[in-house]
């Protein structure tokens, strides 16, 4: 199957959600039924919705890329999620190093001074 343009996908996801929310002739439809009316599988629409939300989160320019294929959005999201993951890992490593540097080493702690007094002489 050919990749769909981003503008088309955004329009179809909006249509799908509108059909689901508004229903049809006072009849509430399921997401699957709404997807059938749109002509795209629910699984694909769920995936598109996820990528659109993440695109907004990472400030993807939907207007500029309206005619680009959905793969452009997928790559953008993947790249930004990887960058976030790497940044979180760096923060974890720095936090761990800071904790280790604040912890007294065993060589500087004397045998007689290892904890609260026990009351025994």
Would you list the domain boundaries of the chain?
6-100
- Model pLDDT, residue 101: 83
Query: Average of pLDDT values for 89-111?
Result: 77
Neighbours of 30 (CB within 10 A): 10
Per-residue pLDDT of 18-65, as tens digits, reads 999 888 777 889 999 999 999 999 999 999 999 999 999 999 999 999
Provide the whole-model pTM. Answer: 0.74
Q: Taking the C-alpha atoms of 68, 69, 75 and 81 in order, what is their torsion angle to the nearest 10 degrees?
A: 80
Distance of CA 43 to the CA centre of its chain: 17
Structure confidence at residue 102 as a pLDDT band (50, 70, 90): confident
State the Cα–Cα distance between residues 55 and 41, nearest whole angstrom.
21
**pLDDT over threshold 60, residue 107:** no
- Model pLDDT, residue 24: 76
């Amino acid at each position: 199957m050919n990749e769909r343009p981003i503008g088309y996908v955004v329009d179809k996801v909006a249509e799908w959600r509108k059909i689901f929310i508004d229903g049809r002739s006072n009849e509430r439809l399921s997401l699957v039924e709404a997807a059938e009316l749109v002509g795209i599988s629910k699984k694909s629409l769920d995936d598109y919705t996820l990528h659109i939300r993440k695109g907004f989160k990472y400030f993807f320019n939907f207007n500029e890329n309206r005619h680009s294929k959905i793969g452009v959005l997928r790559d953008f999201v993947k790249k930004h999620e990887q960058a976030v993951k790497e940044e979180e890992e760096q923060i974890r490593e720095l936090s761990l190093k800071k904790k280790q540097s604040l912890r007294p080493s065993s060589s500087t702690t004397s045998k007689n001074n290892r904890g609260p007094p026990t009351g025994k002489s």
